[in-house]
Structure 1
């Protein structure tokens, strides 16, 4: 074989030199003579003609030996070499035959299953790739929970979409013209995309073509894209000599007729293409002249009409009606005959081939390559201009195609291949390389275009990996085919989560529990290695409900039993673009004898490098693997996390204790004394000051008319000391309990899950021996604007609020007058009760009238003196919202009044909410639903009972700054810089700062806790900047940075509005001491190894707060 390899290398060099220095033409065309003979390469004669250089060399060496005629021991060695060279073509033919050539034909039913899957899968690309999204297929299309598709795509998606288009042509779903048009449309988009050193970015928005943040270059994505482009190029060049109308088109047209439930049919055989065209034209005419029948499938009827239209147009364009299917001319022949359309088509294909070569030539893989380690970095962060510290260092990896391609193009040395790790395990006595995650994806995805040679370590590895997957699934009692995929877990936006799942024996990565998520695409990839088992598995998956409109669903998750359907699994009802593309290409390879692999390997530079794929088991590179482990749990007892409460048993604690509630749009902060704020997005509903003595909040006054005793439902604003007082803060509500004389007050405060309202349910119990007449009056100072705007011009800000009272519904509405740019919502306030009021509800909108001259919210005149409210609305200089109700409570009984505050977009919406809240027990249902949502959110974020209490305790100093939570006194004393000095770090200083000071990798648990707190705050619309200040020693800088980057990468920080997370990583060695002093000074909370997130050193907090 050596003479043949020498011939290929010499041929490539001479052609390159000839084109560079003599002709100056075809510089981007790298098809050697042997590539032109690819049509006969799979025959014995083809191998003989292609490798005749090896046979010729053997003949020359034999003649030399005969001429010398010196029988020696060396002569015997020469004879062995001569024989090996002479019959090298025979050996090469044998070992190059993929196993599918030597196996019996598949069953018709199995073949039909694959073709039907392909047909449905192709519709996924056909229907979702539209002009509006620049012909780019969305990354995923989800059906369950919420029907949606993502508006992004990746280089791997694009590469597989291009191969899917080519596959549709191979299988007869598309005409040549439609195929080329689709490729041109998509490639035109590719040329528009912003690139970095010739590489596509990791993610693009499919509508705007913008690079999605963070700007990143993925090594493996780039390798996949360019590898698939080469296969596409050769597939297009094949079309020059392939029949224009293949028999597959006629066969698939017949199947589409059946799929659409159309009554007509076409013949199996036609004498000429013209007869076939006449028959399908009749069908076309009949379809156009009538309405659809009820039993016909509209989607497939439309597909049938589209196919017929394309076939008829193609036959007419290339004048094929008089030809037979078997003897029709190809494009090249038609072009030579003077067919202008054929000439134009040839030119388009050649132009596309040149464009692909240009794209590959412009791509620079060298900057992703680590010269010292001789490995590829995982990727490159463009914004920070840094390479990932980690490298792809395993042979059994999806990055194998990237490595092979980079060697073939000459951008990295061949020794890189030998540096890829080959840890070994044994499966049924077959050697198998171990991968990182043990997924089918890692083992089989590169094989979509890379050949495997019989008895090579790569072929053995793939076969063994499939066998182990089958064995593992059989032992678990589930279908086989575990791989990376979406699984039955949702983020807060109801999107399926994505993860790599594998089997224990094949992975290096340690995991907490075994994987039980089965992806159908893994079975389709493995059909080459386990045909019978594969088809049986696909049929099983189909019976389990895994088959949909676009083929097989994404996955079936046995880690998540379905309690509704009473099944041990949940189906992940979505379709991912790259898995759909892999399905199509794998089926095409299986049915058409490795057609994509043959195309990729027909490239001269690939052919010259494919010796790397012939590595045998005896290679010295193989070593025994230390596999990953699984923490096995034989039985899992699920225990509900009981979230503890925080109890405040005193009034006016030294450090304010707060509780923060949010439904992700509407938020409420409440102190144990009753102060706080309510906000909708960034709009404050009422006045707030970060001062425990400022009386800012939403208050409810309570007055016993008989005794004249006045108090409030909380300690503030009246500051009347109760006989007993306790506040209970829970993750889902706040509860204030107090006893004043013979009346006990219980206030429960919570939010609505779906509507932007808060409910303050006040329950009063009469413990006296006589009936009580109780007056309840609410009070809040309306803002309806951002907190910053109100703080900047408080008096001016009050002038633009108009109020209105809906008498019939009992709803008080206030709204800020909207300018051209802003459209403020209504602020609504109402009360609901099951008790009959003694008189109609009163209302007030004027603060001065309510408080009286020289009075404060601690002693409002209208409440102290029981003066009726004015019942006036409209404009005033100092607006408030106040409602009053007078009720009777019989001895020993309890009466409840619920005060509702919130926002709405219209009066009609406010009225509808009021009617709903008037229904019996509806408010209690709202409390239960919000409790359930809060528990789901905490479980989703994996927050423990101790963590949630710590997070809530951290929120208090963010709004009410407290000395024990701030930085060291020495730093604050030394500081002389102002807020503007933070700007060079990208920190505005306008938001409260949470500062995390870390010194070593030993602080990892504290970092996790702080990031979890930040994640919780961000997802609940609490605006805060997290600054991580790394003070690690130089030898440990990278290790600590890698830890922080790894932990932050998994955070769910982008909310529904896609706002940017304000998280900053700073290094002390890059800062001057004065800047560190400034950070320590402005930070509301400073977390260090001395405090942790729990601040157990804060004694003042421990005295007033009990957590149980």
Structure 2
């Protein structure tokens, strides 16, 4: 009965907050010290996950922890993405005054020492390691392009934030050679490499508006692949591929001598470039470190804004009491969720929302994020280490789990909001972050 009452109250609050058009947001006063103080308090709880579940000897963070009957069960393995998010989260925690600079440097030194000794392939890291620093031999024999991109990003941020770590972090990034994963014939990256089989994946990362674009940007910035690669990814899939969710329309434009189909979809009369699944982290996670909002005003930044607005509109259409659709833990496992119409091959929607999606949207819709944070708290999703990973707003079921990846997205998003883009500034302060900036500036999506 209590769960039903909570859902009804949250739904009434949400519907009343969306009395305006879903894509016309009121200018509010969320940039106040009060709101920022609340965000810092959330960040402090969120970072406590990394403090509690990072191995003190290896400096590697558990992939996840699940709570049942008040007892936590840790998944004692980690990935390159998790490591990168721990590094970025630790910088974020120090910038927000949650930990001292001395603690941040000490923590990161431990992690860097472990990274130096880990087994690698062409300087790239395997997809899974035990948190004691040993390779998972059973299902860790894969080199992932996207996961290594996030580890590179974390190392670049550390390299810029702490000059005393510059040599260690910079050397690891320099050694990460993305060239063997690149297909020069197609102009796209393979998804990865199976070390045990000695073969690349059969698929390419062809969709531009998905999270692998960060590794693409980094590989261009390092000089591992040519800048033309940026233009060889699909903004939308070709119009003749009629199996996709919509048939895209738009012009073909030439950039750096490469023809690019600047196609788009529409939802509720609004044009946008789709992601693969329609989830928030595909679209907005790269913007944690890339200055898409600042430099890509006519392309990625604008499209990020559209995806936030349309995720909120999708929730309103469904009469959900909260919004934010992205892959997340469930009570029994993990699954992919999305605002389905925003994807080329959209992920499912069953009413599951995840907190990290709200925080990724902070800089694009702060008022709506503020309201959604309250809705998520009303849905009893706020626990010891911040927000539990997901809640089904139809059933009220909460996934009482914390994931290193999702905690990291929350930490970095809050830091960028309250400290005015600090993580992006560190990333773009490096040559790797700065070199390809022209690619972000020059493009114009056909969604104006």
Q: Same fold (TM over 0.5)?
A: yes
Per-residue deviation, 1:178: 1.4
Cα displacement (A) at 1:193: 1.2
How far apart, in 2, do the equivalents of 1:147 and 1:177 lie? Answer: 29
What are the residue-to-residue correspondences of 1:161-200 with 2, within 5 Å? 161-200=86-125
The Cα shift of 1:615 comes to 3.4
**Separation of aligned partners in 2, 1:615 and 1:487:** 40
The superposition leaves residues 568-598 of structure 1 with CA deviations (integer Å, 9 ceiling, x where unpaired) of 2200001000111111111000001111111
Q: Structure with the greater relative contact order (CA < 8 A, sep ≥ 6): 1 or 2?
A: 2
Match of 1:532 among 349, 363, 367: 367
**Shift in Å, 1:105:** 6.1
Instruction: Give the structure 1 partner of residue 338 of structure 2.
Output: 502
Counterpart mapping for 1:438-477 below 5 A: 438-452=278-292, 453=295, 455-477=297-319
TM-superposed CA distance for 1:183, in Å, is 0.9
Choose from 609, 626, 632 the match for 2:436.
609
Pairing 1:403–2:216 present: yes
Q: Which residue of 2 aligns with 1:308?
A: none
Distance in 2, matches of 1:569 and 1:380, equals: 40
Which residue, 180, 205, 213 being the options, matches 2:138? 213
The answer to whether the 8 Å contact 1:231/1:599 transfers is yes
1:265 maps to none
Match of 1:599 in 2: 426
Return the offset for 1:427.
5.0
2: CA distance between counterparts of 1:188 and 1:455? 39
Say if 1:504 and 1:514, in contact at 8 Å, map to a contact too.
yes
Structure 2: distance between partners of 1:462 and 1:508: 16
For 1:166 and 1:419, the matched residues in 2 are separated by 34
Distance in 1, matches of 2:437 and 2:110, equals: 32
Aligned to 1:112: 37
User: In the TM superposition, what is the alpha-carbon distance from 1:430 to its structure 2 partner?
Assistant: 5.1
| 1:522 equivalent in structure 2 | 357
Matches within 5 A, 1:882-897: none
Q: Does the 8 Å contact 1:427/1:464 carry over to 2?
A: no
CA distance in 2 between partners of 1:615 and 1:425 (Å)? 21
Point out the structure with the larger strand share.
1
SS in 1 for 2:149: helix
Which one of the candidate residues 330, 335, 339 is aligned to 1:487?
Answer: 330
Q: Is 1:361 paired with 2:174?
A: yes
Distance 1:542 1:212, change over 3 A: farther
Mark the runs of 5 or more structure 1 residues left unpaired by the alignment.
1-101, 238-348, 491-496, 562-567, 624-1108
Alpha-carbon deviation of 1:460? Answer: 1.1
Mapping for residues 867-878 of structure 1, pairs under 5 Å: none
Measure, in 2, the Cα distance between the counterparts of 1:440 and 1:510. Answer: 12
- Contact 2:276–2:346 (CA under 8 A) maintained in structure 1: no
> How far has the Cα of 1:510 moved from its partner?
5.2
2:365 and 2:137 mapped to 1: Cα distance? 40
Offset of residue 228 of structure 1: 1.9
Inter-CA distance 446–393: structure 2 relative to 1 (3 Å threshold): same
Task: Give the whole-Å Cα distance in 1 for the aligned partners of 2:296 and 2:181.
Answer: 32
Which residue does 2:414 correspond to in 1? 587
Measure, in 2, the Cα distance between the counterparts of 1:431 and 1:137: 40
1:434 alignment partner, one of 274, 282, 303: 274
The match for 2:4 is none
Whether contact under 8 Å (1:431, 1:460) holds in the other structure is: no
Does the 8 A contact of 1:129 with 1:137 survive in 2?
Answer: yes
Quote the Cα distance in structure 2 between the aligned partners of 1:114 and 1:218: 33
- Which position in structure 2 is the counterpart of 1:556? 391
Please name the residue that 1:857 is paired with.
Answer: none
Which residue number corresponds to residue 193 of structure 2? Answer: 380
C-alpha separation between the residues in 2 aligned to 1:205 and 1:454?
Answer: 38
- SS of 1:356's partner is helix
Find the residue that maps to 1:353 and give its secondary structure. helix
CA pair 457-166 structure 1, distance change in 2 beyond 3 A:
same
- Give the Cα separation in 1 of the matches to 2:339 and 2:365: 17
Q: Is the 8 A contact 2:279 2:327 kept in 1?
A: yes
Please report how far the alpha carbon of residue 395 of structure 1 lies from its aligned counterpart in structure 2 after TM superposition.
Answer: 1.1
Name the larger-Rg structure. Answer: 1
The answer to whether residue 415 in structure 2 is matched with residue 572 in structure 1 is no
Structure-2 change in CA distance of 1:606 and 1:207 (3 Å): closer
Cα separation, partners in 2 of 1:487 and 1:468, compared to 1, 3 Å: same
- Taking the TM superposition and a 5 Å limit, the aligned residue runs for 1:655-804 are none
Give the equivalent residue in structure 2 for 1:564: none
Deviation (angstroms), 1:604: 2.4
SS at match of 1:508: coil
- In 2, are the aligned partners of 1:144 and 1:574 still within 8 Å (CA)? no
In the TM superposition, 1:108-257 aligns within 5 A as 108-131=33-56, 134-144=58-68, 147-207=72-132, 209-214=134-139, 215-237=141-163
- Is the contact between residue 55 and residue 132 of structure 2 (CA under 8 Å) also seen in structure 1? no
Aligned-pair CA distance for 1:236: 1.3
Contact 1:482 1:515 in 2 (8 A): no
Distance in 2 between the 1:390 and 1:355 partners? 33
- Quick check: 1:432–1:457 contact (8 Å CA) kept in 2? no
Instruction: Give the RMSD, CA atoms, in angstroms.
Output: 1.9
Counterpart mapping for 1:772-851 below 5 A: none
Q: State the 1:436 CA deviation.
A: 0.8
Equivalent residue pairs, number:
389
CA distance in 1, matches of 2:137, 2:408: 22
Contact 1:437/1:507, CA 8 A, preserved across alignment: yes
Aligned residue for 2:82, secondary structure, equals helix
Deviations 1:887-922 (A, max 9, x none): xxxxxxxxxxxxxxxxxxxxxxxxxxxxxxxxxxxx
Q: Distance in 1 between matches of 2:221 and 2:169?
A: 16
- TM-score, L = length of structure 2: 0.83
Tell whether the 8 Å contact from 1:395 to 1:433 is kept in structure 2 after alignment: no
- The residue matched to 1:141 in structure 2 has which SS? strand
Q: 1:516 to 1:359 in 2, by over 3 A?
A: same
SS of 2:215's equivalent in the other structure is helix
